[in-house]
Amino acid sequence: MDPEESFREYVSGRVAALSRAAYLLTGDRHLAEDLVQLTLVRVARHWERLVSRGDPDAYVRRTLYTQHVSMWRRRWRGVDLHAQPPEASTPDSTAGLVGALMVRDALRRLAPKQRAVLVLRYFEDLTEAEAADALGCSVSTVKSQTRDALARLRTLAPELAELVGGSSVGDSSIGAASAGDSSVSASSVGREGKR
Amino acid sequence: MSRDLRTALAELADQMPPARTDEVWRAGRRMRRRDRTRMAARLVVVLLVAAALTLPAVWYRPLPSPATGEAAVPARVWTPWMWQGTVAQAPAGPATLLFSGDGFGLRGTDLFDHEGKVAVVGQDGSYRMLLYGGAQTVVGEEVQVSPNGRYVAQGHLAGTDPGWLVVTDLTDGRSRTITGPDGTTCCAEPVAWAPDGDSVLVMDRPAYPVGFDPVTGYGIAPARLVLLDLTTGVSRVLVEELGDRWKLRTASLAAFSPDGAWIALTQGSRVSLLNRSGAVAWTRDLGPGRHLAGVGAFSPDGRRIATVALDGCQDECDRAALAARTWRFGYLDAASGVDTDGPAIGPVTAMAVRALGWRLGTDLVALTYRPENDARKAADVPFNDTGWFEVGDATLVALRPGGGSDVLVDSPGEVLAMDVPRDLLESGRFGGPARQPAPFPARPLILLPAVPLVVVLIGVAVPVIFWVRRRRRRLDGIEGLRGG
């Protein structure tokens, strides 16, 4: 198959999931779109090699998260990358979604790596090992980042205590998320049905 | 509870529409082309740098070592590299020429190099160095090569044990330290090698001045003349009172007769003929401005001794007056010391002239010296007209009887003195092939020039690289995605 054609086919099947994860990482639609585009540009750059290896998803995910951190480091927040603001393709449906806005604001107050580890662990349902691979760090770092991120959410946004667990860091539900990872290893980036 | 967080994240993520991806393929391919162009450019730069560093070494081919008797003094010399390897580091065999002078290659700083440097050109055209910490060095006077070009005599040499005299074998780089006649380990300077190379005339002086000149304030170091037999190591004092070392005219101290049995010696304005025991055959006064011509003063048949007489400024001289000096050649009868006739060598205009020997028995080979830019001679200040500080450059010439001269070695202006093995000189082997000095073998000093280069890279290039990278990232992110 022509590389461009196979790339476009891959992108059409993944762009929605990538966009959702990017939105959680950035907390901003424009930035999320930039992040997805930057990621896919880099994927297109090496597309033939990724296809020959058989599994582009791991590279795509790793690129998405590293680009997210890079964007944050470059202080790209607040830079308008578009001459025209993108049209809102969906209405703002936060009304009725319990805590969605609060979650977005709380995520924005986390460090980018803490945000990333929460998205990988609780949105994409990756194991600690997979999250570590995506972030290019050790499993113990993923564990500590997760613990710190949740603790920080509790401190910064007490109103989310109900969501993230109000007790100690070693909350049983969090512990279950860590320990029972082997059964929750599939990436939601590749599973549109999780929406 | 984390299940609630999962639900909240999923609900929040649902608000994000799929990003537009129309241009990402084209932008990615543009980035891919730029990557490849950059990679190719980097590769070219790396190859060019590697080639620049290695090709000179690859291309450099020392001249093939000539068979015995075929070696020749090179027709041209170049200033050696500042970091040029030493004789001890990589001996290159007998020399065809030694030279000393100024510039980074021939004078360093004792902080990280050596003040005195002498370049030794081997028979294969390679350059090696003899290093002398503490003072600038004049080859042919303080450092002298043996008649066969294999040994070099000097008062001291960096990297050797302190000694009265140090004799270096250029074939293996090893140096032999010799103790003085009184068991002293300081301080000797070679004056002249005997023609057979088995003995050397040496000027001995105390390590510390014995007093100070009341007029000039300079230290007084009484010198004496010693004949050292290198085969036995025995030294014999020939003359006890040669005069204050710092007032001696080193260009005209002494000369061996061709058979090595006699020594013509200068003491003040007097010239004497001594045998190897120090017995004086005759003495005569040459008068002011007339000197022994140099270590090569004896004619090839041993019957005459060449002298030079100065026409021009003697006491209070500025640079122009020094440069305008003219030297006329004359001769003494070696048997009696009286004036006699000899080959009609034309007058030479130079600050000084020093005879090294006779080419093919007819032409007088000599060094002519021009004054340094700020050279000035005052009546009461020690002034050595072949000294390092006084000389601006030196030229090796062959002076033909009846007039005319040939420049024997094309040398850069930094060269202030030269010494030629007597065997090559007398057999007329000049105009030999010459090679530019190779940068290797090198001393660790070669790392020094890298320091300013690294500073420039860090101070200038690195910020530029960061700026370019930052700009390219912005372009990648903004304009690239807009399909520009």
Per-residue pLDDT tens over the stretch B294-338: 999 999 999 999 999 999 999 899 999 999 999 999 999 999 999
Helix (H) / strand (E) element for B368: namely: strand B363-371
User: Choosing among B25, B466, B481, which should be mutated to test the A contact, i.e. which has the most A CBs within 10 A?
Assistant: B25
Q: Are B12 and A98 an interchain contact pair (Cβ–Cβ within 8 Å)?
A: no
- Report which of residues A99 and A151 the model is more confident about: A151
Distance CA B252, CA B329 (A): 13
For the purposes of burial, counting CB atoms within 10 Å of the CB of A133, is it exposed (0-12), middle (13-18) or buried (19 or more)?
Answer: middle
Q: Are A122 and B2 an interchain contact pair (Cβ–Cβ within 8 Å)?
A: yes
Distance CA A24, CA B8 (A): 11
The amino acid present at A170, given as its one-letter code, is G
Instruction: Using the predicted structure, report yes or no on whether residue B13 has a pLDDT greater than 80.
Output: yes
For A37, the closest of B16, B17, B24 (CB atoms) is B24
Q: Are A40 and B1 an interchain contact pair (Cβ–Cβ within 8 Å)?
A: no
Rounded-to-10 torsion of CA A61, A62, A66, A68: 10
Instruction: Using the predicted structure, report yes or no on whether residue B47 has a pLDDT greater than 70.
Output: yes
Is B155 strand, coil or helix?
Answer: coil
Q: What is the pLDDT of residue B67?
A: 60
Instruction: Using the predicted structure, report yes or no on whether residue B285 has a pLDDT greater than 80.
Output: yes
Q: Which residue has the tokens 């998803």?
A: A57
Q: Average pLDDT, stretch B422-438?
A: 94
The rounded radius of gyration (Å) of the Cα atoms in chain A is 17
> Considering chain B, what percentage of its residues have pLDDT values greater than 70?
93
Distance CA A158, CA A156 (A): 6
Instruction: Using the predicted structure, report yes or no on whether residue A81 has a pLDDT greater than 60.
Output: no
Which residues on adjacent β-strands are paired with residue B128? Answer: B120
Interior CA angle at B106 toward B101 and B112, to 5°? 140
A179 touches chain B (CB under 8 A): no
- Tell me, what DSSP letter sits at residue A122? I
Average pLDDT of chain B to the nearest whole number: 90
Q: What is the pLDDT of residue A54?
A: 83
Contact between B179 and B185 under an 8 Å Cβ cutoff? The reply is yes
Give how far B433 is from chain A: nearest CA, Å.
58
Distance CA B100, CA B138 (A): 6
Where along chain B do its domains lie? 71-444, 451-484
Q: What is the pLDDT of residue A134?
A: 86
Instruction: Using the predicted structure, report yes or no on whether residue B482 has a pLDDT greater than 60.
Output: no
Q: Could you report the per-residue pLDDT of B109-157, keeping only the tens digit for each?
A: 888 899 999 999 999 999 999 999 888 999 999 999 999 999 999 999 9
Residue B16, φ and ψ in degrees, nearest 5: -95, 120
Domains in chain A, start-ordered, CATH in brackets?
Answer: 3-77+98-194 (1.20.140.160)
Q: Are A4 and B25 an interchain contact pair (Cβ–Cβ within 8 Å)?
A: yes
Contact between B414 and B102 under an 8 Å Cβ cutoff? The reply is yes
Q: What is the pLDDT of residue B447?
A: 83
A118 touches chain B (CB under 8 A): yes
Q: What is the pLDDT of residue B56?
A: 64
Q: What is the pLDDT of residue A173?
A: 39
Which segments of chain A does DSSP mark as H helices, in order?
A: 3-26, 29-45, 47-53, 56-73, 100-108, 112-118, 128-135, 139-156, 161-164, 172-179
Contact between A112 and A69 under an 8 Å Cβ cutoff? The reply is yes
Give me B200's structure tokens: 């050397």
- Tell me, what DSSP letter sits at residue A96? T
Query: Residue A183's pLDDT band (boundaries 50, 70, 90)?
Result: very low
Which residues on adjacent β-strands are paired with residue B84? Answer: B442
Q: What is the pLDDT of residue B58?
A: 65
Q: Could you report the per-residue pLDDT of B182-213, keeping only the tens digit for each?
A: 888 899 999 999 999 999 999 999 989 898 88
Is B121 strand, coil or helix?
Answer: strand
- Report which of residues B286 and B461 the model is more confident about: B286
For A16, the closest of B12, B18, B480 (CB atoms) is B18
- Distances in Å between the alpha carbon of A66 and those of A62, A63, A137, B106, B423? 6, 5, 11, 57, 76
For A123, the closest of B6, B19, B28 (CB atoms) is B6
Q: What is the pLDDT of residue B3?
A: 56
Chain A residues whose CB is inside 8 A of the B3 CB are: 173
Instruction: Using the predicted structure, report yes or no on whether residue B272 has a pLDDT greater than 60.
Output: yes
CB atoms within 10 A of CB A164: 25
Q: What is the ipTM, given to two decimal places? A: 0.74
Count residue pairs from A and B with Cβ separation < 8 A: 147
Nearest alpha carbon to residue A82 among B245, B67, B483: B483
Spatial neighbors of B58 by CB under 8 A, at least 6 apart, are: none
Q: What is the pLDDT of residue B422?
A: 97
Q: What is the pLDDT of residue A189?
A: 39
Q: Which residue has the tokens 């690859």?
A: B58
Q: What is the pLDDT of residue B69?
A: 61
For the purposes of burial, counting CB atoms within 10 Å of the CB of B245, is it exposed (0-12), middle (13-18) or buried (19 or more)?
Answer: buried
Q: Are B11 and A123 an interchain contact pair (Cβ–Cβ within 8 Å)?
A: no
Q: What is the pLDDT of residue A159?
A: 72
- Report which of residues A129 and A159 the model is more confident about: A129
CATH number of B71-444: 2.120.10.30
A95 touches chain B (CB under 8 A): no
A176 touches chain B (CB under 8 A): yes
Q: What is the pLDDT of residue B2?
A: 56
Q: What is the pLDDT of residue B145?
A: 97
Contact between B31 and B476 under an 8 Å Cβ cutoff? The reply is yes
- Report which of residues B480 and A127 the model is more confident about: A127
CB atoms within 10 A of CB B466: 10
B18: cis peptide before it, omega within 30°? no
Nearest alpha carbon to residue B364 among B396, B340, B339, B332: B396
A59 touches chain B (CB under 8 A): no
Distance CA B59, CA B61 (A): 6
CA A179 to chain CA centroid, Å, is 21
Q: What is the pLDDT of residue B270?
A: 94
Lowest mean pLDDT among B241-255, B334-348, B353-367, B450-464: B450-464
Contact between B155 and B162 under an 8 Å Cβ cutoff? The reply is no
Q: Could you report the per-residue pLDDT of B369-401, keeping only the tens digit for each?
A: 999 999 999 987 888 999 999 999 999 999 999
User: Choosing among A37, A60, A97, A191, which should be mutated to test the B contact, i.e. which has the most B CBs within 10 A?
Assistant: A37
Instruction: Using the predicted structure, report yes or no on whether residue B234 has a pLDDT greater than 80.
Output: yes
Q: Average pLDDT, stretch B53-62?
A: 65
Q: Average pLDDT, stretch A127-152?
A: 90
Q: Are B481 and A38 an interchain contact pair (Cβ–Cβ within 8 Å)?
A: yes
Contact between B220 and B209 under an 8 Å Cβ cutoff? The reply is yes
Lowest mean pLDDT among A100-114, B222-236, B433-447: A100-114
